[in-house]
Amino acid sequence: MNRLPLLLITSLILIAAAGDSTDWTGELVSAWTAACDSDSPATVIVPAGTFFVSSAVLMGPCRSSNIAVHIGGTIVAPASYTSQNRWIAFKNVSGLTVAGGLFDGQGQAVWNCKNAQNECPLGATSLSIENSNNVWLKGVSSVNSEMFHILIHRSRDVLVTGALISAASDSPNTDGIHIEESAGVTVRDGVIGTGDDCISIGPGAADVWIENIKCGPGHGISIGSLGSETMQNGVRNVTVMNIEFNGTENGFRIKTWAKPSDGFVEQVLFRNATMNAVKNPIIIDQHYCPRTTDCPTEACLHLYNGR
């Protein structure tokens, strides 16, 4: 097909639609770079259509603190896995909105490898927000990630609304949203069903608010695992409320390794949940050890002020 040049009209950057196996990584990165270099608010628009993107890290810092990426179509990852740990990432950005779109991670090859207990890469996270602040993920959909669907890492003031996330119930490590080393994160009004945690909250997370989520299948909403390292940041001030669990292994869960650690969990509130066919509605596991062999036995992580 003929490639159309990027069209820059004031603050609008347009990627032309595609429907074949063309790799649109270069166009996406170029559009992002133009928006990032703009002195005024800028918008990258991915219209309806299917776009194959091998891997893209969309870097800041940017001149503008008001950049939007509006996705009207589907962005598709490679079907064969590689050793990369992220697929689409936004890094070092302040003032970002990502709205709409479907991210298809095509993770089945990695799942099959892991389920066969072969030597496999960890898999790529489909959408990462890294070292960024003032970010809104609005109505984003993600299916079949190799590993996490959405990762929020070392970021502040991140809002996730209306996320639709789906993977097979036997897909390993496909957490819907994973939050770590981040503060001021709100997740609300989403539907998440995967083979792992719907939402997981890792070390260094603080001031997290989760509300109005439908979760299932999967492992529920979890804090942890924590305590895998001797020196590790704790988790504080987490509120999870108005959750509907459907056919999950767990409802609310805190999971920690049973070995010496200075990690902690404090100021946690779980409130208002509907649980349908949930195996463990509330579980605190201080002997977390997924491999079940050579497991440590000394529980040292501290839990404070949970309700």
By annotation, the residues acting in catalysis are 219
> Which position has the token pair 């299932």?
216
Task: Find, among 156, 159, 167, 226, the residue nearest to 197 by Cα.
Answer: 167
* List of residues 6+ apart from 119 with CB closer than 8 A: none
* Structure letter (DSSP) for residue 10: T
297's tokens = 């036995």
- Structural element, H or E, at residue 126: strand 125-130
- Structural element, H or E, at residue 267: strand 264-276
Residue 148 φ/ψ region, left for φ over 0, alpha for ψ in the -120 to 50 degree band, beta for the rest: beta
231's tokens = 């020196």
* Structure letter (DSSP) for residue 33: H
Task: Find, among 168, 210, 207, the residue nearest to 188 by Cα.
Answer: 210
- Structural element, H or E, at residue 268: strand 264-276
The distance from CA 90 to its chain's CA centroid, rounded to whole angstroms, is: 12
